[in-house]
Amino acid sequence: MLTTHLDKEIYIDAYQKFSSDKIKNPKDFIDYLLTGSDVILYGITSEMEDSSSNILSELLQGRGDQAKTSTRSESFSPTKTPVNADNPYQVFFLNLNDKDDQISVTKRLRMLVGFKDNYYQVFSEFKKEPFFRVDSEVVKNKFSDWLQVLPDMPVTDIVISDPYILKSSENYPLSSNLYRLIQSIKDRYHNIVSVIIFSKNDKNDKNDLKQIREDIIRILGEKTLVRTILFQGSGEHDRHIFTNYHHVKIGSSLNFLFDNDGILKVKNPSSIEVHSYCNPKQFEQAEPVLKLLN
């Protein structure tokens, strides 16, 4: 499950602010912390004031088998607190006010981090689930470029599942399909650690697959781990992009091609849905694939 690191001051601040009816959706941040992930709560000591203990009681009581709370006595330290770097599915809401500390911990973690002055804005971006139409006739929410739909998050690991994305032909060249998506991933995310591609076993030659991996590494950088995993089967036509924080579900992978001028070629109308792991059901559905990255 997604893990949220939380300084107790952030939860207390949210509890006090979002109890007001003046704020739209006042409890969504609190609800996420109570149900949406495992929580590591920092700064919990036996000397806490009764008022703080009362506010934190619901979070500390435990939330069943699906979401757990563990505590640490010290507040989160930007330089000393250990973090499992092998787990890319973590969110941090930290009580750090010094700008140098904020910059330092953000660079160190390379994950989604919010502070007392912006945690709700960070959470709001995390929970967004936009929808796009892939259709030459529509105007509103019209898909035109991969950068439009790739969530602007500190993503480090990506899984792409598409039965046809490794296929290359005169009508569907890799340069207009797979490589264009990879270039957009490079443009959006600057610290990609690994990319795994699931695709259909369509008589791909081993040398062809090796060349594709080398081409992807050339785009993303030599430090990026790139794997291709072939599967057999039928009936699957969608493209899925799994990142640290979102699942991008794309209808009919063969629709998404661009010509040499960057103009989208649409064969049939389709859609793109972005789902946030802020919703525990979305993370649960994505988890079997995401485990491959750990």
| Per-position DSSP letters for 8-42, written without gaps between them | HHHHHHHHHHTTSTTSSSTTHHHHHHHHSSEEEEE
Are 161 and 109 within one domain?
no
Asked whether residue 120 falls in the same domain as residue 173, the answer is: no
Pair (221, 104) in one structural domain: no
Cβ-in-10-Å burial (0-12, 13-18, 19+) of 255 comes to: buried
Q: What is the pLDDT confidence band of residue 66, given thresholds at 50, 70 and 90?
A: low
Amino acid (1-letter code) at residue 27:
K
Tell me which of 93, 127, 161 is where a domain ends: 127
Neighbours of 139 (CB within 10 A): 7
In this structure, the answer to whether residues 32 and 73 fall within a common structural domain is yes
Give 39-50 pLDDT, tens digit per residue.
999 999 877 766
Distance in angstroms (rounded) separating the CA atoms of residues 31 and 39:
12
The Cα-based distances of 139 to 143, 201, 268, 276 in angstroms read 9, 37, 16, 25
pLDDT bucket at 17, cuts 50 / 70 / 90: confident
- 115 and 226 part of one domain: no
One domain, residues 73 and 217:
no
Q: Which of 106, 127, 148 is the last residue of a domain?
A: 127
Is residue 203 located within the same domain as residue 226?
yes
Instruction: Give pLDDT tens digits for 146-182.
Output: 899 999 999 999 999 988 888 877 767 888 889 999 9
Which amino acid, 65? D
Say what the pLDDT of residue 267 is. 67
What mean pLDDT do residues 203-210 have? 75
Shared domain for 148 and 252, answered yes or no, is yes
Q: How many domains does the chain have?
A: 2
Q: Output the pLDDT for position 108.
A: 92
Same domain, 286 and 152: yes
Range of the domain at 56: 3-127
| Average pLDDT across the chain, whole number | 85
Whether pLDDT at 26 is above 60 = no
Local confidence band at 261 (pLDDT 50, 70, 90 cut-offs): low
Residue 188 pLDDT class (50, 70, 90 cuts): very high
Q: What is the mean pLDDT of residues 6-33?
A: 79
Residues 121 and 136 in one domain: no
Percent of the chain with pLDDT over 70: 83
What's 280's domain CATH number? 3.30.870.30
More confident call, 263 vs 206:
206
Q: Same domain for 222 and 106?
A: no
Residue 23 has pLDDT above 60, yes or no: no
Q: Between 150 and 31, where is the model more confident? A: 150
Contacts of 66 (CB under 8 A, 6+ apart): 1, 280
At which of 127, 144, 169 does a domain end? 127
Instruction: Give 67-87 pLDDT, tens digit per residue.
Output: 788 899 999 999 999 999 888
> Over the stretch 93-142, which tens digit does the pLDDT of each residue have?
999 999 999 999 999 999 999 999 999 999 999 999 999 888 767 667 77
Q: Of how many residues is the chain composed?
A: 294
Give the model's pLDDT for residue 229: 86
Same domain, 154 and 239: yes
